Structure formats: structure tokens, C-alpha cells
Chains A and B, each alone.
Chain A
Amino acid sequence: MPSKANGQAVLAYLGERWAAFFLLLLLVVFSLVGRNFFSIKNFSNILYFATTYALLSAGETFVIVTGGIDLSVGFVMGFVGVSSAIVMRDMFAAHYSQAVCMVVGTLVGLAVGILPGLVNGFLVARLRVPPFIATLGMYGVANGVALALSQGFPIYFLPPRVQQIGNSFIAYAVPGRPLTFFQRPPDLKPDEIRALVGIVPGTVLVAAVILLISWFVLKRTRFGQHTYAIGGSKDAALRSGINVPRHLTWIYVLSSVFASLAGIIYVFRIGLGNFTTFNSSYELFAIAGVVIGGASLMGGKGSIGGALIGTLILMTLENGLNIVGIQAFFRYIATGLILIAAVMIDQFALERRSSFV
């Protein structure tokens, strides 16, 4: 019966692509219901807040594809943010130029951000500690170090250019003037300032480039292939000559580096270094993004594009709920519900597919 088989195939297809449709649905619904939801400014805003989460999800994608999990990303992000902010603050206080402070601060942040990943990778790959436990340990350690470094207070007094850069746009449009790039048009009149529209925040461009690179690495390189191979079957990967422990170590370092990038972008965005609090639950949003995007925690399945769609669903939902006037904390509930729904849809699709085959 071809029609029935077709129906099954359609269901399976929907089961795999539901996230993209769901994102579209959310966009349509909020555009209809929410005032000013459908505007360049607001879409810019969604992307602006999505950058940190998208980066965390991208790193988490690599880990989840290998069949692991990284619970430490949120606190690694805080640890790196605090470290690089301290460097920037102290150098600025010692009268270095702002550019030098920012470059050195960023580099130091990236350098210390490798450490948690190395430790996680060593524990998981060489000592065979379950990823869940190794990274839960790091969750505690990174949080403690961040709190100890910052003494439990945000790091203030960064160079003022930090926040300016973090909040600049790629292009600025003012009616009746040509587009300007990276800088506001000079000598604006007050009514022109009001009409000024920033197009795509700079941090979004940075994140987009990073995501594009990571998409390329995961989809098109041998490294990416090996990542899927390990997730599919560790034994088979070993037998086909992949150096699994080394590869896994790299994966956890990668996840840490993405968390560091998120932490540094966060510093640039808010202009201060802040440790991560327990209830900010970054790891929840990162893992939820990846799973909603179609990854399986069993490994071997998942993509950067999927993780991006998952993150955008969560961020659109947050933004939309806000605009409609629903309390901010519903986002935690919504995220939890969608996460569970995603897993159930995945399982349902899997059953369909296997019964279909």
C-alpha cells in the first residue's frame, strides 16, 4: 500500500524536521500576536541574546555527537568571563591602552578556557570517568574558582571601549543617509538618532563566523567524520584506527573553548565580568538547544544547524513571551517542556522509522 508508506514517510520526515517548522510557527504566531515583534530591531535583539547560547550549544553539539555530555559549560563561561575581565581591569588600571587591554584580556580568557576542557577530556578519554560525572565535577570546580577569583562580586572598571565594541552593529541605517558600517553616521541630529536602526549586532557576526567554521569542521572534515564515527560506535571507531582518546580530549577542549568564547562575548556585551549563578542554568539551555535540534544523547546524531535552530526556538520563545507580557520565568518551564517533547518526538520518529523499514 504505497499511500500508507507515503504517510509513514511524511510522518518520519516531520519527526526529523519538526524543529524548523516549530521555529517558523513561533515566528508567525508571535508576529501576529505580539506588538512590534516583527521588526528589524526585535529580530536583531533575538540574535543579540542568542549569541552566547548558540556558542554554548555549538560546543555541546560536538560533545553530544560523540555520545558524551558537558555539564560544565555554564560555569566555564563564567570562569573565563571573570578571568578575562580581571586582566582587562588590572591592565587598564595600569594605564595600558584600551586596545591592548582588550586583546590581552581576550587571549588570556581563551588560554585559561582551555584548561577545564583539557581536564574534562583527560578524565573522560584517558581515565574513563563517565562524562556526566567528570563535567559535573568541573561544574563545581569552575564555579568555585570563578567565585574565588571575583570574591563573589562582578568585575567592574573595564575599559569603556569594551562595552562600546560589544554593542556596536555591523551597519547603521538612517532614513535619508547612506548606510555606514561599524560606526554610527557622524553628527546626527536628535530626531535622526531616534530613527537610527542598527543592522545585525557585531557580536552576532562574530558568532556567525564561529558557527560557520564549526559547521564546516563537523560536516566536511575528517575531524567531523571521526566525531560521528565515535558517537556511532566507539569500538568500530577504534578498530578503524581512530585515536579515540586523543579525539575525545579535543572534543572536550573544543566545548570549553566555545564556552570561553561565549564568556568573552558576554563580557564585551555587558561591560563587566560576572560569575555564573546556579539558577541561570546555561547548561540546560545549551543541551536543550542541541537536543531540540535533533541530536541524540546516545551519540552519532546531531548538527550545528540543528543546534542553532534549537537555540533560536528557545530565544524566540523567550523574546516573544516577553513581548506578549508573560513573566520571564515561563521560559524555564517552556524550555523544560520543549526539551522533553523533543526527546519524545525523536523516539516516536525512531519507532516509526524502524517499523517502516
Chain B
Amino acid sequence: MSETVLAARRAGGATRWMGRNWALLFLLIELAAFILLGRNFQSLENIQNIFVACLPVLLLGMGETFVIITGGIDLSVGFVMGFGAVICAKFMVLLQAAGLPPSASIPLAALICLVVGLVPGFVNGVLVARLKVPAFLATFGMYGIAYGVSEIVSSNTPISGLPAEAGFIGNEYFLYIIPRKLVTFIKPDHLGPEDLKVMLSIFPIIVIIAAVFVAIFAFILRRTRFGQHNYAIGGSQDAAVRAGINVPRHLTWVYVISAFFASLSGVMYALKYVTGRADAGSARMLDSVVAVVIGGASLYGGTGTVKGTIIGALIIATLETGMVNLGVPYHFRYIAIGLILVLAVLIDQFFPELVGRGE
């Protein structure tokens, strides 16, 4: 008898593990399906493409994770990303015109963009934390404002004339390997066609940059007092106030973090596409919320992890890349993502014990 109980417990443990990690399983199944159905889906190049494709969702999702854990929402991230892309591109052009070499103008423009990009977050934060405007409406207002401002800054046209070097950072890799011949950090010139064919390019530069920031903020959320306070506020704002947390100040910071990641994503956009557009991230707001929710965060606050958001972003990026690979029209991604969002919330709602929230 004890053996059956043990077996049952083990089986129960397995289901529970599956319930908790359904997003990870979903990702693996998705990968397996595309590898079976697609052409060369498992190639190194394609897998790296998935990582590149997941960047905007992941970066916006990082900020959104902090916000959603506190029980808020940031609807402005998509257009703040556009704002970031426009500001970054604009300053690259301006600084170049002022005679700065690309090695100075690109990092300087990125820095300016990241600083200016904090402003919408600060405004959101003050509105939500100090003036008690519901997060949904405050950031919805910012959604309109950020879009309007970036269309005006860009004069309603994609910004062109960026230094070409921006494209190198955005599209080159960290490491180039020609088997049995060469390992280098800089893309080697004058290669023969044979070498080009076997050359492995690994670690896209923008993925590395993003990974650094994601790692830093994952640490902050998980290991620092700031992260603990974040969960505490989401669990119960009243309790957090009574426990002596300066809730308004904390919440302001959270919205600033969200805007920071949105602008960072804008910088990445400018580097990758060598342009800046006001609508760069307009389609990404939905994606970022979906990634966070798939990752197990509850919109009521108090739960959510960076790991979950990464898996969520990878699910979306894999879907996107896989659909391109299979030749499915791009539009279907919106349908699929909408469905996944509702599915994730339904699972969360109907099987709380499965997801481990009932305990």
C-alpha cells in the first residue's frame, strides 16, 4: 500500500511540476514541433535569430514584470519604446552632424536616450504613486503622449542618416569562429567563399547587452530588498505601508524601471534597423503583457518572476520565427498570441493548485 501511495505522490508531484512549468513544457513542445515541421529550424543561426527576435518582448516584459508584480500595469511601454528609438536615432544624427566620430556619437546618443527615456516613467510613477491615478489610465494617457511626442520629433517619417556603424553593433556577433583556423571578436575581412560557408557567428552583440541588463534586474528582483519590497507591495499595499515601506517612492521607481527597459529596447531597435520610428514598438505592448502573464505572473499582483518572463518571451519569439519558417502569413501571430494570453489566464484561474498558487 505504501508503495502505491508513494507512486501516487510521485505522480502527483510530476503533475504539479508540470502544472508549475507548463510554460516551459509549452516552449519545448513548440520547439519540437517546429523542428519536425520546419526546415533547418534547429540550425545555430535560426536559434540565435529566436534570441534576437525575443529581445523587444523580453525587454518590455522585464519592465512590465516589475510593474505587474506590484499589481499595476504599464500600457505605455510600446510607444515609449518608439519614443526611445526616435530619440536615440535623432541624437545619433545630430551628434554626427556636430562632428563627433561614430565611436562617440553612438554610445552618447544611447546614453541620452536612456536618460530622456526615464521621463515618461517618472511621470507615470508620480501619477500612479503620488496622485493615485489608476495605473491603467495613467499609462494609457502616456501611451498617447509618448506616441504624439515621438511622431512630432521624427516629423512623421522614419529617421535616416544614422552612422553606418550603428548597424554593425545591431547586427554583428560577438564571436566568429572558423573551425580549425580562427577565433576572433571582430568579423574577419577578405574571407574566401569556403571560409564564409563554414564560419560560425555566435552571440549577437545586442543579445549580450540585453542579457547583462536582464541579469542585473533579475538579481535585483530576486535577491535585494528592493525586490522583496516589490513583492510585498503587490501582495498587500496596506501591509507594505504598515511594514514601513515607502510605497509611493518604490512605485515611482518601478515605473521608471519599466520606462528604462522600454527605452533600452528602443536603442536596440535603432541599432538593429539603423533608423528610428515612432511606431517601432506599437505592436509590442500586447506581447510584453502576454509574456509576463504566460510566465506565471498574476495581474492582481504579488507573483511573477524574471525566469517566467524569459520563457514567455521565448514562446512568443519561437512562434514568430517558426511561423516565418513554415511560411505562415505573419498576421496569424496576432491571433496566436491573443489566444495564448487568454489560455494562460484560464490555466491560472482554473487550476490555481496546479500552478502552485493554492498552497
Q: Which residues of A are in contact with B by a Cβ distance under 8 Å? A: 69, 123, 127-130, 132-134, 136-141, 143-145, 147-148, 151-152, 278-279, 281, 284, 287-288, 291, 297, 327, 329-337, 339-340, 343-344, 347
Contacts and interface: CB of A to CB of B under 8 A. Distances in A.
B132 A347 contact: yes
Interface string B37-51: 000000000000000
B349 A129 contact: yes
B149 A333 contact: yes
A278 B282 contact: yes
B334 A147 contact: yes
In order of increasing CB-CB distance, the 6 nearest A-B pairs are A140-B338, A332-B148, A336-B144, A144-B334, A144-B335, A147-B331
Given A140-B341, A330-B152, A344 B133 contact: yes
Contact of A133 (B143, B147, B299, B334): B299
Interface string B315-359: 000000000000001111111111101100110011000000000
Contact of A279 (B133, B278, B338): B278
12 contacts: A129-B349, A132-B299, A133-B342, A137-B342, A140-B337, A140-B341, A141-B334, A144-B334, A281-B147, A297-B137, A340-B137, A347-B132
B112 interface: no
B333 A343 contact: no
Contacts of A329: 147-148, 151-152, 156
Contacts, number: 138
Interface residues of B, number: 48
Contacts of A297: 134, 136-137
B142 interface: yes
Interface of B: 73, 78, 127, 131-134, 136-138, 140-149, 151-152, 156, 278-279, 282-283, 286, 289, 293, 299, 329-339, 341-342, 345-346, 349-350
Given A127-B349, A129-B349, A329-B152, A141 B339 contact: yes
A143 B146 CA distance: 22
Given A340-B133, A343-B134, 11 more contacts: A69-B136, A128-B349, A133-B293, A134-B345, A141-B335, A141-B339, A144-B333, A148-B332, A148-B335, A281-B144, A288-B144
A339 B75 CA distance: 14
Given A127-B346, A137-B342, A329-B151, A336 B141 contact: yes
A110 to B, nearest CB: 22
Contacts of A133: 293, 299, 341-342, 345
Contacts of B335: 140-141, 144-145, 148
Contacts of B330: 147
B56 to A, nearest CB: 14
Nearest to A148: B331
A332 B147 contact: yes
Contacts of B331: 143-145, 147-148, 152
Contacts of B283: 278
